[in-house]
Amino acid sequence: MRFVARRIGLFVITLWAALTLNFVLPRVMPGDEATAVLSHFRGVNPAALHALQVEFGAGTNQPILSQYLDYLGNCLTLQFGLTASRTPVSTVILQGLPWTLGLVGITTVIAFILGTVVGMIGAWRRGGIFDSLLSPFLFILTTFPVFFIALVLLFTFAVALGWFPISGAYTLATRPSLTLAFVGDVLAHAVLPGLTLVITTAGTWIYTMRNNMVGSLSADYVRMARAKGLPTWRILLNYAGRNAILPNLTGFAMQLGFVLGGSILVEYTFGYPGLGYLFYTGTTNHDLPLQQALFLFYTLAVLVCVLLADFVTAWLDPRTREA
């Protein structure tokens, strides 16, 4: 119980820190961002202007504490103001959310499974051909920046070979529908961005998994499992694998921050209309409300995943429950 309380505590504190960061930064930064944004709004409906003012504390006489509380209240009720093009931020985010959720969600699951299996095989056949080829291969994958891999894939498969579309989530002229053709179209557009993300995410995980497996394979309980006559797959899964993955599940979730960052770059490269692309357009338009809201969303995503990973670890690893 204490474990659960501690993890939730960390969750709440980090969320609070992110919210406060968003509140504090515009008020301490040099330069007149607030005015710059406000200048976009000249001659527009006063309610939106007022909302923005509240957000930045510009042009109000409210004491800072009540501004802060107003702000927190707004965030918790998902009122993030308006974008530069005067649509509600929450609407815009909801449009981009499913694309990013799908892309990042599915690729993370694939990368995790792939990473675990490949890492296990590499460790089981340590020193063998598979393992020795794995190292340099992995090295390249994990040190090359995401956007480079994205650009290479874009060039090779979309431009040079023309196998996949260059950008977008689906062919722009078509209307979204639940037909097989549309679904196929969506999948075709998702392959390259998805592949980029799988490659970069799986890379580090394979490396971690393999090293952990090598450690757990040499443990006495694995020798004991052999002594009992357990079949190999069972030893790999329940004895070596379980003890290799569990301590690192939370670490994997924390890596999600990098994955999300990478997804922003990937969406930009492939013109994929998810939250990452929104982030990019937000920066070109100096659209602070949108950017702030997106920042919060990304932070929340990582926090939720870390919390989930913590709970799964507690569920599967009895030692953590006592901690």
Partner 1 sequence: MAEPLLEVRDLSVAYRTDAGDVVAVDRVSFEMARGEFLAVVGESGCGKSTLLYAITQLLSPPAEIAGGEVRFGGRNLVTLDGEELRRLRWRGYSIVMQSAMNALNPTLSVEAQFGDAMRAHGPAGDEEVRARSEAVLKLVGIDPVHRRSYPHQLSGGMRQRAMIAMALLFDPDLVVMDEPTSALDVVAQRSLMRQIKDLQERLGFAVLFVTHDMSLVSHYSDRLLVMYAGQVAEIAPTRVCFDTPLHPYSQGLFGGFPSIHGPRLPLVGIPGSPPDLLTPPSGCRFHPRCAQVMAHCPVVSPDLITVGDTEVRCLLYAPNQGRPEGAAIAAARPAAAPVEVVT
Partner 2 sequence: MAVPAVTAEALPAPTAAGATRRLWTSILRNRKATAGLVLLGLIVFVAAFPALIAPGDPHAAIYGQQEGPSAAHLLGTTQVGEDVFTQLIWGTRVTLIITVVVGLLATVIAVAIGVTAAYIGGAADQALSLFTDVFLIIPSLPLLIILSAYLQGSGTVAIIFALTVTGWAFGARQLRAQGLAMRTLEFLEAARARGERQTWIVAMEILPNMLSLIVASFLGSAVYTVAAAAGLQYLGLGNSGDITWGTMLHFAQQNAAIESGNIAWALAPGAAVALLGTSFALLNYAFDEITNPALRAVRKRRGRAAA
Binding status of residue 311 toward partner 2 by CB under 8 A: no
Burial of residue 79 (number of CB atoms within 10 Å: 0-12, 13-18, 19+): middle
Q: What does the alpha-carbon distance between residue 193 and residue 109 come to, in Å, rounded to a whole number?
A: 15
CB atoms within 10 A of CB 303: 19
- Which one, of 136, 112, 80, 96, lies nearest residue 289 by Cα? 80
Chain centroid to CA 228: how far? 42
Binding status of residue 1 toward partner 1 by CB under 8 A: no
Which listed option, partner 1, partner 2, none, makes contact with residue 71 (CB within 5 to 8 Å by class)?
A: none
Contact pick of 227, 231, 284, 322 for partner 2 (by CB under 8 A): 284
Q: Tokens 């702000």 correspond to what residue?
A: 71
Contact pick of 26, 98, 102, 247 for partner 2 (by CB under 8 A): 26
Chain centroid to CA 31: how far? 31
Q: What does the alpha-carbon distance between residue 37 and residue 289 come to, in Å, rounded to a whole number?
A: 9
Which two three-digit tokens encode residue 58?
A: 């510009």
Which listed option, partner 1, partner 2, none, makes contact with residue 211 (CB within 5 to 8 Å by class)?
A: partner 2
Contact pick of 246, 253, 264, 265 for partner 1 (by CB under 8 A): 246
Contact pick of 98, 102, 247, 257 for partner 2 (by CB under 8 A): 257
- Position 147, amino acid: F
Which listed option, partner 2, partner 1, none, makes contact with residue 255 (CB within 5 to 8 Å by class)?
A: none
Q: Whose Cβ is closer to partner 1: residue 171's or residue 232's?
A: 232
Positions that interact with partner 2 (CB under 8 A): 10, 13-14, 17-18, 21-22, 25-26, 29-31, 33, 126-127, 139-140, 142-148, 151-152, 154-155, 159, 166, 211, 215, 254, 256-258, 260-262, 264-265, 268-269, 279-280, 283-284, 286, 288, 291-292, 294-295, 298-299, 301-303, 306
